[in-house]
Structure 1
Amino acid sequence: MKKFTSALLASTIMLLANDTVAQTENLHWGYTGHNTPDKWGSLSEKYRECGVGLNQSPINITHSLHANLPPLAPSYQSDSKDVIDNGHTIQINMAHGSTIKVDDIVFELKQFHFHTPSENHINGKAYPLEGHFVNIDKDGNIAVLGVMFTEGEENKALAKFWDKLPTNEGEVHTLEHSKIANELLPKDKHYYRFNGSLTTPPCTEGVRWFVFKETLSISKEQVAKFHKIMHGDNNRPIQPLDARVVVD
């Protein structure tokens, strides 16, 4: 069992930390062209869940069951290590030491990345940018924190590294910022919670999703820069909620 758990964890970290499985297998999934999200499930048997899964992300949050959930309390204290353009998003990889405890399980923050426009919607509204903070526990289970950005003032935390974003696929820049992940979380830690999946192939289900209710600001220029680097939108369309319940 220990050997199996280690293998699962290694596999999960490889999927999420690098987001390059499709490229290494020459399965060129994307957001435009011939391999758009509606075709992901047919690109490979490994991506089948993208087409047939019943707990897929993202979703449109329209109704939620009020359950008096306690605010999240992430302890994101470690530094960032580097920032990479992996061809699908801009991803900031983290040094060890940032954690969050959910369901009495400790998850470690591995990386965070962005989508424009937002992947999840709230009451039918899409936001100009959404940040995903990807956390993994010792058994390879995944918890993702979603942060929505609304257009307004320049985001000072993003401004610390926005001019250092790589602009070519595969390009990596060293990025050592203290507690930068913590600065990109809202002060109010109340959230919507639901079961979902990865929003990119292989669309693995069983992901714990937490989308913060409070949004952060981002300038029109900051959004435009990210959009230009991505050569357009990099969001998966809304998926059916089916029998799932969103709680808050």
Structure 2
Amino acid sequence: MKRWMLLTAGLILSANAGAAGPAQWAYEGAGGPAHWGALSPEFTACSQGRNQSPVDISSTVKAQLPPLHMRYAAGPATIINNGHTIQIDFAPGGALNLDGRDFELKQVHFHAPSENTIDGRLFPLEAHFVHADAKGALAVIGVMYETGAANEALAPAWAQLPAQPGPAQPLAQPVDATRMLPAALDYYRFSGSLTTPPCSEGVRWLVLQKPLTASSEQIAAFEGIMGGPTNRPVQPLNGRLIVE
């Protein structure tokens, strides 16, 4: 199974699973992050991996990182509450060019509060734009949100936030992922993992330095539906470098 498919499969477990079993995971309690690695043999990386995400971005190495090149366009999309997050799935066609090859934009999902931190700072909301290349390798762009002005790019999706887990629903308006990113695309880069089970490693992480804003009402709407925090605690760097 390709790793972006593993990500989707992991995120929809609570929506599709029946009685509680070893693959049930959560953000709190007995199924919480501290216990993920013991819930299933497939989740071993959650406890034994050495390159896990999220991380605290506090000590970086200065470098000449190449500019990010994305080819996104407005198109149809669907929205789903999978029990762990709200996820927007994009139509094929959008791509990030990275390391000499294309990573197709698959989906964006959200965490409140943020998973990655910057100098120890938690943001009230973080978006993860998930991309996959032809072999299933993943690249994730992380975008932080501060509390402030309402975010117009989020408004169409927020107007259809599913209150309960269930099947994906078409969004009434086309979605342009470009509008969901800040104008300045300076970024931090590091090697990491999925932030949810199975915590697979080898993910290229690109966390944008410039935060966007979302209104307190937008943030509260997401938090209210999720019913609690949806962030994995930061993980040890274990010697990894964060480059900017």
Q: Give the one of 221, 227, 234 matched to 2:223.
A: 227
Q: CA deviation at 1:171?
A: 4.3
Aligned to 1:203: 199
Q: Give the one of 27, 33, 37 matched to 2:29.
A: 33
Structure 1 runs not aligned, ≥5 long: 1-7
Aligned to 2:12: 20
CA displacement, residues 115-139 of structure 1 (integer Å, 9 cap, x when unaligned): 0000000011010000000000000
Query: How many residues in Structure 1 have an aligned counterpart in Structure 2?
Result: 239
One-letter code of the match for 1:124? G
Q: CA deviation at 1:81?
A: 2.0
Q: CA deviation at 1:221?
A: 0.8
| Runs of 4+ deviating beyond 6 Å | none
Secondary structure class of the residue paired with 1:34: helix
Q: Determine whether 1:162 maps to 2:151.
A: no
Aligned-residue CA RMSD in angstroms?
A: 1.5
CA contact (8 A) 1:84 1:92 kept: yes
Q: CA deviation at 1:176?
A: 5.0
Aligned to 1:145: 141
Q: Identity of counterpart residues, as a percentage?
A: 46
Distance in 1 of aligned mates of 2:219 and 2:175: 22
Distance in 2 of aligned mates of 1:48 and 1:21: 17
CA contact (8 A) 1:150 1:216 kept: yes
Aligned pairs for 1:74-85 within 5 A = 74-85=70-81
Task: Give the TM-score of the pair, scaled to structure 1.
Answer: 0.92
Aligned to 1:175: 171
Q: CA deviation at 1:161?
A: 2.0
Distance in 2 of aligned mates of 1:171 and 1:197: 26
Q: Determine whether 1:120 maps to 2:112.
A: no
Secondary structure class of the residue paired with 2:159: helix
Distance in 1 of aligned mates of 2:227 and 2:111: 12
Q: CA deviation at 1:173?
A: 2.0
One-letter code of the match for 1:223? I
Task: Give the TM-score of the pair, scaled to structure 2.
Answer: 0.93
Q: Give the one of 83, 90, 97 matched to 2:93.
A: 97
Q: CA deviation at 1:78?
A: 4.6
Distance in 1 of aligned mates of 2:174 and 2:96: 17
Q: Give the one of 107, 132, 137 matched to 2:128.
A: 132
CA contact (8 A) 2:4 2:137 kept: no
Distance in 1 of aligned mates of 2:174 and 2:38: 42
One-letter code of the match for 1:217? T
Secondary structure class of the residue paired with 1:235: coil
Q: CA deviation at 1:159?
A: 1.2
Structure 2 runs not aligned, ≥5 long: none
